Structure 1
Amino acid sequence: MIEGGVGGASTLTGLAFERDTSLKLAISNLRGYRVAGDAVYQGNNLIGTLLSKGSLYSRLLAPRGVDYRNIVSKKLLPDDAFLNLTNQTLYIIEKKYQQCAGSVDEKLQTCDFKAKQYRKLLSPLNIEVEYIYVLNDWFLHDSYRDVLEYITSVNCSYYFERIPLEVLGLTE
Structure 2
Amino acid sequence: MKKNGIGGANTNKSGLKFENDTDLAAAINCDLSYKYELKKHIYPETEKPKMKSNSPVFDVYRKDNHKLIGIITKQYQFYNILWEHYGLENVNHKRWKPDEVFFNFENNTVFIVEKKWQNGPGSVDEKIFGFVNKRRLYQNNFNSEQGGEPKTTVEFSALFNSGWWLNGNNQKNGKHYQDYFDNLRIDGVKIFFDKYDYWWFGL
TM-score by length of 1: 0.90
SS in structure 2 at match of 1:74: coil
SS in structure 1 at match of 2:94: coil
Quote the RMSD (CA, aligned, Å): 1.7
Q: How does 1:26-45 map to 2 (within 5 A)?
A: 26-29=27-30, 30=32, 31-37=34-40, 38-43=58-63, 44-45=66-67
Larger radius of gyration: 2
1:51 aligns with 2:73: yes
1:153 Cα deviation from its structure 2 partner: 0.6
What is the count of residue pairs matched by the alignment? 165
1:155 Cα deviation from its structure 2 partner: 0.8
Rounded Cα–Cα distance in structure 2 between residues aligned with 1:97 and 1:122? 29
Unpaired runs of 5+ residues, structure 1, are none
Q: How does 1:1-172 map to 2 (within 5 A)?
A: 6-8=6-8, 9-29=10-30, 30=32, 31-37=34-40, 38-43=58-63, 44-61=66-83, 64-68=86-90, 71-125=91-145, 126-137=151-162, 138-140=164-166, 141=173, 142-170=175-203
1:73 Cα deviation from its structure 2 partner: 1.4
Unpaired runs of 5+ residues, structure 2, are 41-57, 146-150, 167-172
Identity across matched positions, percent: 32
Checking the alignment, whether the CA contact within 8 Å between 2:89 and 2:141 is kept in structure 1 is no
Q: What amino acid maps onto 1:61 in structure 2?
A: W
Q: What amino acid maps onto 1:35 in structure 2?
A: L
Q: What amino acid maps onto 2:62 in structure 1?
A: Q
Checking the alignment, whether the CA contact within 8 Å between 2:100 and 2:113 is kept in structure 1 is yes
Higher helix share: 1
Runs of 4+ in structure 1 off by over 3 angstroms are: 62-65
Moved more, 85-94 or 53-62: 53-62
Rounded Cα–Cα distance in structure 2 between residues aligned with 1:53 and 1:100? 25
1:148 Cα deviation from its structure 2 partner: 0.6
Rounded Cα–Cα distance in structure 1 between residues aligned with 2:120 and 2:142? 35
Moved more, 113-122 or 55-64: 55-64
Rounded Cα–Cα distance in structure 2 between residues aligned with 1:56 and 1:39? 13
